[in-house]
Amino acid sequence: MKLSAFGEKFAGTSGIVELMDDLGSALNENPDMIFMGGGNPGRLPEVEAIFQQRLEDVMTDPQQRHSLFGIYQSPQGDKEFREQIAAFLKKQFGWKLSANNIAVSNGSQSAFFVLYNMFAGTMPDGSHRSIHLPLAPEYIGYGGIGLSDSFFTATRPSIEMLDENLFKYHVDFSKLQLNEHTAAMCVSRPTNPTGNVLTDDEIAHLDQMAQAQNIPLIIDGAYGLPFPGILFTEAKAHWNENTILALSLSKLGLPGARTGIIVASEEVIRAYTNANTVVSLACGNLGPALAKELFKTGEILSLTRDYVTPFYRERSQQTVQWFRESLGDLPFRIHKPEGAIFLWLWFEGLPIRSQELYERLKQRGVLIVPGHNFFVGMDDDWSHKHECIRVSYAQDAETVKRGVDIIAEEVAKAYAEA
Ligand SMILES: Cc1ncc(COP(=O)(O)O)c(C=O)c1O
Protein backbone atom coordinates (compact mmCIF):
# COMPACT_ATOMS: atom_id res chain seq x y z
CA MET A 1 0.00 0.00 0.00
CA LYS A 2 1.44 3.35 -1.05
CA LEU A 3 0.59 6.00 1.51
CA SER A 4 0.64 9.78 1.27
CA ALA A 5 2.54 11.84 3.82
CA PHE A 6 -0.81 12.23 5.61
CA GLY A 7 -1.36 8.48 5.41
CA GLU A 8 2.11 7.72 6.73
CA LYS A 9 1.61 10.02 9.65
CA PHE A 10 -1.94 9.04 10.61
CA ALA A 11 -2.23 5.46 9.44
CA GLY A 12 1.23 4.55 10.71
CA THR A 13 2.20 3.80 14.26
CA SER A 14 2.86 6.69 16.56
CA GLY A 15 3.73 6.49 20.24
CA ILE A 16 0.10 6.78 21.32
CA VAL A 17 -1.20 4.29 18.80
CA GLU A 18 1.39 1.75 19.91
CA LEU A 19 0.56 2.30 23.54
CA MET A 20 -3.21 2.01 22.96
CA ASP A 21 -2.67 -1.13 20.88
CA ASP A 22 -0.56 -2.58 23.62
CA LEU A 23 -3.16 -1.78 26.28
CA GLY A 24 -5.89 -3.25 24.05
CA SER A 25 -4.07 -6.50 23.30
CA ALA A 26 -3.02 -6.93 26.93
CA LEU A 27 -6.70 -6.72 27.87
CA ASN A 28 -7.64 -9.22 25.16
CA GLU A 29 -4.98 -11.68 26.26
CA ASN A 30 -5.91 -11.40 29.91
CA PRO A 31 -9.51 -10.38 30.58
CA ASP A 32 -8.76 -10.33 34.32
CA MET A 33 -6.18 -7.61 33.82
CA ILE A 34 -6.52 -4.81 36.38
CA PHE A 35 -7.13 -1.87 34.11
CA MET A 36 -5.65 1.27 35.61
CA GLY A 37 -4.42 2.50 32.29
CA GLY A 38 -7.23 4.09 30.31
CA GLY A 39 -9.48 7.08 30.69
CA ASN A 40 -12.79 5.28 31.15
CA PRO A 41 -14.98 6.96 33.74
CA GLY A 42 -16.18 5.06 36.81
CA ARG A 43 -19.64 3.50 36.94
CA LEU A 44 -22.08 5.53 39.01
CA PRO A 45 -25.44 3.75 39.31
CA GLU A 46 -27.42 6.93 40.10
CA VAL A 47 -26.05 8.71 37.04
CA GLU A 48 -26.57 5.67 34.81
CA ALA A 49 -30.19 5.53 35.99
CA ILE A 50 -30.77 9.17 35.01
CA PHE A 51 -29.43 8.61 31.49
CA GLN A 52 -31.36 5.35 31.13
CA GLN A 53 -34.61 7.07 32.09
CA ARG A 54 -33.89 9.89 29.67
CA LEU A 55 -33.23 7.43 26.85
CA GLU A 56 -36.49 5.61 27.58
CA ASP A 57 -38.38 8.92 27.46
CA VAL A 58 -36.82 9.76 24.10
CA MET A 59 -37.58 6.31 22.70
CA THR A 60 -41.26 6.41 23.65
CA ASP A 61 -41.84 9.79 21.95
CA PRO A 62 -41.99 9.28 18.16
CA GLN A 63 -40.90 12.85 17.41
CA GLN A 64 -37.87 12.72 19.71
CA ARG A 65 -37.01 9.23 18.49
CA HIS A 66 -37.00 10.47 14.92
CA SER A 67 -34.78 13.43 15.88
CA LEU A 68 -32.37 11.02 17.51
CA PHE A 69 -32.00 8.58 14.62
CA GLY A 70 -33.57 9.96 11.50
CA ILE A 71 -31.97 13.34 10.79
CA TYR A 72 -28.59 14.95 10.18
CA GLN A 73 -28.12 17.80 12.61
CA SER A 74 -26.47 20.99 11.42
CA PRO A 75 -22.65 20.71 11.62
CA GLN A 76 -22.65 23.23 14.48
CA GLY A 77 -24.96 20.96 16.48
CA ASP A 78 -28.58 20.87 17.68
CA LYS A 79 -29.73 24.49 18.08
CA GLU A 80 -31.94 23.86 21.09
CA PHE A 81 -29.06 22.10 22.88
CA ARG A 82 -26.68 24.95 22.07
CA GLU A 83 -29.21 27.48 23.35
CA GLN A 84 -29.62 25.56 26.58
CA ILE A 85 -25.87 25.30 27.12
CA ALA A 86 -25.42 29.01 26.40
CA ALA A 87 -28.26 29.96 28.78
CA PHE A 88 -26.82 27.66 31.43
CA LEU A 89 -23.29 29.12 31.17
CA LYS A 90 -24.66 32.65 31.14
CA LYS A 91 -26.72 32.07 34.25
CA GLN A 92 -23.96 30.20 36.06
CA PHE A 93 -21.01 32.46 35.32
CA GLY A 94 -22.40 35.63 33.73
CA TRP A 95 -20.49 34.92 30.49
CA LYS A 96 -21.74 36.99 27.59
CA LEU A 97 -22.56 34.36 25.02
CA SER A 98 -25.34 32.88 22.92
CA ALA A 99 -25.94 29.69 20.92
CA ASN A 100 -23.62 31.22 18.29
CA ASN A 101 -20.72 30.76 20.71
CA ILE A 102 -21.32 27.02 21.03
CA ALA A 103 -20.52 24.12 18.72
CA VAL A 104 -21.05 20.43 19.29
CA SER A 105 -18.42 17.88 18.21
CA ASN A 106 -18.14 14.13 17.99
CA GLY A 107 -16.16 13.95 21.23
CA SER A 108 -13.75 16.67 22.29
CA GLN A 109 -10.84 14.66 20.83
CA SER A 110 -12.03 15.30 17.28
CA ALA A 111 -12.61 18.96 18.16
CA PHE A 112 -8.97 19.20 19.22
CA PHE A 113 -7.86 17.72 15.93
CA VAL A 114 -9.72 20.40 13.99
CA LEU A 115 -8.93 23.30 16.32
CA TYR A 116 -5.22 22.62 16.71
CA ASN A 117 -4.70 22.19 12.97
CA MET A 118 -6.77 25.30 12.33
CA PHE A 119 -4.27 27.38 14.28
CA ALA A 120 -0.93 25.56 14.04
CA GLY A 121 1.17 24.07 11.24
CA THR A 122 2.16 25.74 7.99
CA MET A 123 0.85 29.30 7.77
CA PRO A 124 -0.29 30.87 4.46
CA ASP A 125 3.04 32.77 4.26
CA GLY A 126 5.01 29.53 4.59
CA SER A 127 6.10 30.12 8.20
CA HIS A 128 5.39 27.54 10.90
CA ARG A 129 3.40 27.79 14.11
CA SER A 130 3.10 25.40 17.06
CA ILE A 131 0.71 24.84 19.93
CA HIS A 132 2.38 25.63 23.22
CA LEU A 133 1.67 23.58 26.34
CA PRO A 134 2.62 25.87 29.24
CA LEU A 135 2.79 22.99 31.67
CA ALA A 136 4.07 19.55 30.67
CA PRO A 137 3.12 16.75 31.41
CA GLU A 138 -0.11 17.06 29.43
CA TYR A 139 -2.80 14.87 27.88
CA ILE A 140 -1.31 12.05 25.81
CA GLY A 141 -4.12 12.37 23.25
CA TYR A 142 -2.73 15.65 21.91
CA GLY A 143 0.47 13.87 20.88
CA GLY A 144 -0.36 12.57 17.41
CA ILE A 145 -2.81 15.27 16.38
CA GLY A 146 -0.64 17.60 14.31
CA LEU A 147 -0.70 17.43 10.52
CA SER A 148 2.88 18.72 10.46
CA ASP A 149 6.03 18.04 12.46
CA SER A 150 7.21 20.13 15.43
CA PHE A 151 3.58 20.70 16.22
CA PHE A 152 3.93 21.18 19.99
CA THR A 153 6.27 23.00 22.28
CA ALA A 154 6.10 22.78 26.06
CA THR A 155 7.47 24.44 29.17
CA ARG A 156 8.99 22.37 31.96
CA PRO A 157 7.06 23.02 35.20
CA SER A 158 8.42 24.11 38.56
CA ILE A 159 7.88 21.55 41.30
CA GLU A 160 6.60 22.41 44.75
CA MET A 161 7.35 19.76 47.36
CA LEU A 162 4.49 19.32 49.82
CA ASP A 163 4.06 17.44 53.09
CA GLU A 164 3.02 13.82 53.31
CA ASN A 165 4.79 12.67 50.13
CA LEU A 166 2.83 15.04 47.91
CA PHE A 167 4.06 17.51 45.28
CA LYS A 168 2.51 19.95 42.84
CA TYR A 169 3.53 21.28 39.44
CA HIS A 170 3.21 24.97 38.68
CA VAL A 171 3.55 26.88 35.43
CA ASP A 172 7.08 28.26 35.45
CA PHE A 173 6.41 31.77 34.19
CA SER A 174 10.12 32.60 34.40
CA LYS A 175 10.68 30.11 31.55
CA LEU A 176 7.41 30.44 29.61
CA GLN A 177 8.07 32.35 26.42
CA LEU A 178 5.78 32.97 23.50
CA ASN A 179 6.87 34.25 20.11
CA GLU A 180 5.60 34.74 16.57
CA HIS A 181 5.71 30.96 16.08
CA THR A 182 3.24 30.29 18.90
CA ALA A 183 -0.23 29.56 17.49
CA ALA A 184 -2.13 29.04 20.75
CA MET A 185 -1.62 27.83 24.31
CA CYS A 186 -3.48 24.86 25.70
CA VAL A 187 -3.95 23.47 29.20
CA SER A 188 -6.17 20.70 30.48
CA ARG A 189 -7.77 21.75 33.78
CA PRO A 190 -7.89 19.47 35.77
CA THR A 191 -4.84 18.08 34.04
CA ASN A 192 -4.71 14.60 32.61
CA PRO A 193 -2.36 12.88 33.72
CA THR A 194 -1.51 14.62 37.01
CA GLY A 195 -4.81 15.68 38.58
CA ASN A 196 -3.34 19.18 38.87
CA VAL A 197 -5.76 22.10 38.79
CA LEU A 198 -4.07 25.24 37.53
CA THR A 199 -4.76 28.01 40.03
CA ASP A 200 -7.03 30.94 39.15
CA ASP A 201 -3.91 33.16 39.19
CA GLU A 202 -2.10 30.87 36.75
CA ILE A 203 -5.10 30.93 34.40
CA ALA A 204 -5.38 34.73 34.67
CA HIS A 205 -1.67 35.06 33.89
CA LEU A 206 -1.91 32.71 30.88
CA ASP A 207 -4.99 34.57 29.66
CA GLN A 208 -3.18 37.87 29.86
CA MET A 209 -0.12 36.47 28.03
CA ALA A 210 -2.33 34.97 25.30
CA GLN A 211 -4.17 38.25 24.79
CA ALA A 212 -0.90 40.20 24.66
CA GLN A 213 0.39 37.78 21.99
CA ASN A 214 -2.97 37.82 20.18
CA ILE A 215 -3.34 34.04 20.29
CA PRO A 216 -6.13 31.92 21.82
CA LEU A 217 -5.92 30.24 25.20
CA ILE A 218 -7.48 26.79 24.87
CA ILE A 219 -8.78 25.24 28.08
CA ASP A 220 -9.53 21.54 27.93
CA GLY A 221 -12.26 21.05 30.52
CA ALA A 222 -12.86 17.34 29.89
CA TYR A 223 -12.83 16.82 33.70
CA GLY A 224 -13.53 20.38 34.66
CA LEU A 225 -16.01 23.14 35.22
CA PRO A 226 -18.93 23.39 35.09
CA PHE A 227 -19.33 19.69 34.24
CA PRO A 228 -18.37 16.95 34.95
CA GLY A 229 -16.89 18.97 37.83
CA ILE A 230 -14.25 16.43 38.88
CA LEU A 231 -12.38 18.95 41.03
CA PHE A 232 -11.52 18.63 44.71
CA THR A 233 -10.24 22.16 45.15
CA GLU A 234 -11.68 25.65 44.76
CA ALA A 235 -11.30 26.97 41.23
CA LYS A 236 -13.17 29.46 39.10
CA ALA A 237 -14.38 28.59 35.61
CA HIS A 238 -12.75 30.83 33.02
CA TRP A 239 -13.93 32.01 29.62
CA ASN A 240 -13.78 35.15 27.52
CA GLU A 241 -13.75 35.93 23.80
CA ASN A 242 -10.07 34.96 23.57
CA THR A 243 -10.60 31.62 25.30
CA ILE A 244 -11.66 28.39 23.66
CA LEU A 245 -13.20 26.13 26.27
CA ALA A 246 -13.59 22.49 25.24
CA LEU A 247 -16.07 20.49 27.30
CA SER A 248 -17.22 16.90 27.02
CA LEU A 249 -20.01 14.62 28.22
CA SER A 250 -17.61 11.67 28.37
CA LYS A 251 -16.49 11.81 31.97
CA LEU A 252 -20.09 12.23 33.15
CA GLY A 253 -20.40 8.62 32.09
CA LEU A 254 -21.15 8.98 28.38
CA PRO A 255 -17.89 8.34 26.49
CA GLY A 256 -19.85 6.15 24.07
CA ALA A 257 -22.10 9.08 23.08
CA ARG A 258 -19.02 10.92 21.68
CA THR A 259 -20.14 14.43 22.50
CA GLY A 260 -17.85 17.41 22.90
CA ILE A 261 -18.92 21.03 23.36
CA ILE A 262 -16.82 23.98 22.26
CA VAL A 263 -17.35 27.43 23.73
CA ALA A 264 -15.58 30.17 21.79
CA SER A 265 -15.93 33.49 19.96
CA GLU A 266 -18.41 33.46 17.09
CA GLU A 267 -15.53 33.79 14.64
CA VAL A 268 -13.82 30.64 15.95
CA ILE A 269 -17.13 28.75 16.10
CA ARG A 270 -17.91 29.65 12.46
CA ALA A 271 -14.47 28.51 11.31
CA TYR A 272 -14.70 25.33 13.38
CA THR A 273 -18.17 24.57 11.99
CA ASN A 274 -16.98 24.89 8.40
CA ALA A 275 -14.11 22.51 9.08
CA ASN A 276 -16.39 20.11 10.95
CA THR A 277 -18.73 19.98 7.97
CA VAL A 278 -15.89 18.65 5.84
CA VAL A 279 -14.68 16.19 8.46
CA SER A 280 -17.93 14.94 10.02
CA LEU A 281 -20.85 16.34 8.01
CA ALA A 282 -22.88 16.39 11.21
CA CYS A 283 -22.53 15.51 14.89
CA GLY A 284 -24.12 12.60 16.66
CA ASN A 285 -27.53 13.28 18.19
CA LEU A 286 -27.36 10.92 21.16
CA GLY A 287 -25.38 13.10 23.60
CA PRO A 288 -27.55 16.19 23.11
CA ALA A 289 -30.73 14.07 23.34
CA LEU A 290 -29.62 12.57 26.67
CA ALA A 291 -28.25 15.75 28.21
CA LYS A 292 -30.69 18.43 26.98
CA GLU A 293 -33.08 18.17 29.91
CA LEU A 294 -30.22 18.31 32.41
CA PHE A 295 -29.17 21.71 31.13
CA LYS A 296 -32.72 22.99 30.78
CA THR A 297 -33.57 22.15 34.39
CA GLY A 298 -30.10 22.86 35.82
CA GLU A 299 -30.04 19.26 37.11
CA ILE A 300 -26.56 18.93 35.63
CA LEU A 301 -25.29 20.83 38.68
CA SER A 302 -26.86 18.59 41.32
CA LEU A 303 -25.83 15.52 39.36
CA THR A 304 -22.16 16.52 39.47
CA ARG A 305 -22.31 17.91 43.02
CA ASP A 306 -24.17 14.94 44.54
CA TYR A 307 -22.70 12.01 42.62
CA VAL A 308 -19.79 12.66 40.28
CA THR A 309 -17.53 14.92 42.35
CA PRO A 310 -17.96 12.99 45.64
CA PHE A 311 -17.32 9.64 43.94
CA TYR A 312 -13.95 10.70 42.54
CA ARG A 313 -12.98 12.76 45.60
CA GLU A 314 -13.48 9.81 47.93
CA ARG A 315 -11.86 7.38 45.54
CA SER A 316 -8.79 9.60 45.11
CA GLN A 317 -8.33 10.03 48.87
CA GLN A 318 -8.76 6.32 49.44
CA THR A 319 -6.26 5.41 46.72
CA VAL A 320 -3.67 7.87 48.04
CA GLN A 321 -4.13 6.29 51.48
CA TRP A 322 -3.64 2.79 50.06
CA PHE A 323 -0.49 3.87 48.23
CA ARG A 324 0.90 5.45 51.42
CA GLU A 325 0.31 2.23 53.33
CA SER A 326 1.73 -0.08 50.70
CA LEU A 327 4.69 2.04 49.55
CA GLY A 328 5.71 2.81 53.14
CA ASP A 329 9.23 4.26 53.31
CA LEU A 330 10.04 3.94 49.62
CA PRO A 331 11.01 7.22 47.94
CA PHE A 332 7.67 8.03 46.34
CA ARG A 333 5.66 11.18 45.79
CA ILE A 334 2.11 11.63 44.55
CA HIS A 335 0.95 14.73 42.71
CA LYS A 336 -1.57 16.49 44.96
CA PRO A 337 -4.86 15.06 43.70
CA GLU A 338 -6.96 18.10 42.87
CA GLY A 339 -9.19 16.60 40.17
CA ALA A 340 -9.59 14.22 37.19
CA ILE A 341 -9.58 10.45 37.64
CA PHE A 342 -5.87 9.62 37.95
CA LEU A 343 -3.01 9.65 40.41
CA TRP A 344 0.41 10.66 39.12
CA LEU A 345 3.17 8.93 41.03
CA TRP A 346 6.80 9.99 41.01
CA PHE A 347 9.51 7.52 42.02
CA GLU A 348 12.60 9.66 42.31
CA GLY A 349 15.83 7.86 41.41
CA LEU A 350 13.95 4.71 40.32
CA PRO A 351 16.67 2.36 38.97
CA ILE A 352 14.48 1.29 36.03
CA ARG A 353 12.56 3.46 33.58
CA SER A 354 8.80 3.77 33.93
CA GLN A 355 8.47 1.91 30.59
CA GLU A 356 10.16 -1.12 32.19
CA LEU A 357 7.94 -0.78 35.26
CA TYR A 358 4.93 -0.75 32.90
CA GLU A 359 6.15 -3.98 31.24
CA ARG A 360 6.69 -5.70 34.56
CA LEU A 361 3.29 -4.61 35.86
CA LYS A 362 1.67 -5.87 32.68
CA GLN A 363 3.24 -9.27 33.38
CA ARG A 364 1.70 -9.10 36.84
CA GLY A 365 -1.74 -8.31 35.41
CA VAL A 366 -1.88 -4.56 36.08
CA LEU A 367 -2.05 -1.90 33.38
CA ILE A 368 -0.83 1.63 34.07
CA VAL A 369 0.59 4.25 31.67
CA PRO A 370 4.32 5.05 31.80
CA GLY A 371 4.96 8.74 32.32
CA HIS A 372 7.24 9.72 29.43
CA ASN A 373 4.28 9.51 27.02
CA PHE A 374 2.75 12.62 28.56
CA PHE A 375 5.62 15.00 27.89
CA VAL A 376 4.19 16.09 24.55
CA GLY A 377 6.33 18.77 22.89
CA MET A 378 9.26 18.25 25.23
CA ASP A 379 12.20 16.50 23.60
CA ASP A 380 14.85 17.03 26.27
CA ASP A 381 16.21 14.16 28.34
CA TRP A 382 14.78 15.15 31.70
CA SER A 383 15.08 12.05 33.88
CA HIS A 384 11.85 12.98 35.69
CA LYS A 385 9.90 11.89 32.57
CA HIS A 386 10.92 8.29 33.17
CA GLU A 387 10.26 8.28 36.90
CA CYS A 388 6.50 8.82 36.79
CA ILE A 389 3.45 6.70 36.11
CA ARG A 390 -0.26 7.47 35.69
CA VAL A 391 -2.75 5.30 37.53
CA SER A 392 -6.53 5.49 37.09
CA TYR A 393 -8.67 4.99 40.19
CA ALA A 394 -12.00 4.85 38.34
CA GLN A 395 -12.46 1.07 38.59
CA ASP A 396 -14.28 -0.49 41.50
CA ALA A 397 -12.56 -0.06 44.86
CA GLU A 398 -11.52 -3.66 45.36
CA THR A 399 -9.82 -3.79 41.96
CA VAL A 400 -8.01 -0.52 42.60
CA LYS A 401 -6.74 -1.81 45.96
CA ARG A 402 -5.40 -5.00 44.38
CA GLY A 403 -3.69 -2.92 41.69
CA VAL A 404 -2.13 -0.61 44.26
CA ASP A 405 -0.63 -3.54 46.17
CA ILE A 406 0.91 -5.06 43.04
CA ILE A 407 2.32 -1.69 41.91
CA ALA A 408 3.89 -1.23 45.35
CA GLU A 409 5.46 -4.72 45.23
CA GLU A 410 7.01 -4.09 41.81
CA VAL A 411 8.28 -0.64 42.80
CA ALA A 412 9.86 -2.11 45.95
CA LYS A 413 11.56 -4.80 43.83
CA ALA A 414 12.85 -2.20 41.38
CA TYR A 415 14.37 -0.05 44.14
CA ALA A 416 15.95 -3.17 45.66
CA GLU A 417 17.85 -3.70 42.37
CA ALA A 418 19.85 -0.49 42.87
C1 LIG B 1 -7.80 15.79 29.00
C2 LIG B 1 -8.66 15.13 27.99
N3 LIG B 1 -9.09 15.85 26.95
C4 LIG B 1 -9.87 15.32 25.99
C5 LIG B 1 -10.23 13.99 26.03
C6 LIG B 1 -11.08 13.44 24.93
O7 LIG B 1 -12.35 13.11 25.40
P8 LIG B 1 -13.63 12.88 24.48
O9 LIG B 1 -13.18 12.83 23.05
O10 LIG B 1 -14.22 11.61 24.95
O11 LIG B 1 -14.52 14.08 24.74
C12 LIG B 1 -9.80 13.18 27.09
C13 LIG B 1 -10.15 11.74 27.14
O14 LIG B 1 -9.75 10.99 27.97
C15 LIG B 1 -9.00 13.77 28.10
O16 LIG B 1 -8.54 13.05 29.12
pLDDT tens column, 191-232: 999 999 999 999 999 999 999 999 999 999 999 999 999 999
pLDDT at 280 over 90: yes
Mean pLDDT value across residues 82-103: 96
Best of 23, 131, 192 for a ligand 1 pocket test (most atoms within 8 Å of beta carbon): 192
> Is residue 77 within 8 Å of residue 99, measured between CB atoms?
no
Quickly state the pLDDT bin for 6 (edges 50, 70, 90). confident
pLDDT at 7 over 80: yes
Ligand 1 centroid distance, CA of 251 (Å): 8
In the CATH scheme, what architecture does the domain 5-46+303-416 have? Alpha-Beta Complex (3.90)
- In whole angstroms, give the CA distance from residue 3 to residue 9: 9
pLDDT at 15 over 90: no
Mean pLDDT value across residues 3-25: 81
- In whole angstroms, give the CA distance from residue 97 to residue 91: 10
State residue 25's pLDDT score: 83
> Is residue 255 within 8 Å of residue 47, measured between CB atoms?
no
Ligand 1 centroid distance, CA of 191 (Å): 11
Question: Between the CA of residue 264 and those of 48, 115, 214, 273, 301, what are the distances in Å?
Answer: 30, 11, 15, 12, 22
pLDDT at 400 over 90: yes
Ligand 1 centroid distance, CA of 108 (Å): 6
* Pairing assessment for the beta strands 128-133 and 388-392 based on DSSP bridges: unpaired
Quickly state the pLDDT bin for 30 (edges 50, 70, 90). confident
> Is residue 342 within 8 Å of residue 382, measured between CB atoms?
no
| Orientation of helix 286-297 relative to helix 62-69, angle to 10° | 130
Best of 108, 194, 279 for a ligand 1 pocket test (most atoms within 8 Å of beta carbon): 108
pLDDT at 381 over 90: no
Exposure class string for 157-193: b at 16+ Cβ within 10 A, else e: beeeeeeebebbbebeeeebebeeebbbbbbbbbbbb
- In whole angstroms, give the CA distance from residue 171 to residue 401: 32
Dump pLDDT digits (tens) for 233-249: 999 999 999 999 999 99
- In whole angstroms, give the CA distance from residue 324 to residue 338: 17
Dump pLDDT digits (tens) for 281-312: 999 999 999 999 999 898 999 999 999 999 99
Share of the chain above pLDDT 90, in %: 89
Quickly state the pLDDT bin for 126 (edges 50, 70, 90). very high
User: What are the structural domain ranges in the chain?
Assistant: 5-46+303-416, 72-298
In the predicted model, what is the mean pLDDT of the chain?
A: 95
Please tell me the pTM assigned to this model: 0.97
Amino acid at 81: F
- CATH number assigned to the domain with residue range 72-298, chosen from the 4 options 3.40.640.10, 3.20.20.140, 3.40.630.150, 1.10.274.30: 3.40.640.10
Q: Which atom of ligand 1 lies nearest, measured to the CA of 188?
A: 1
Quickly state the pLDDT bin for 49 (edges 50, 70, 90). very high
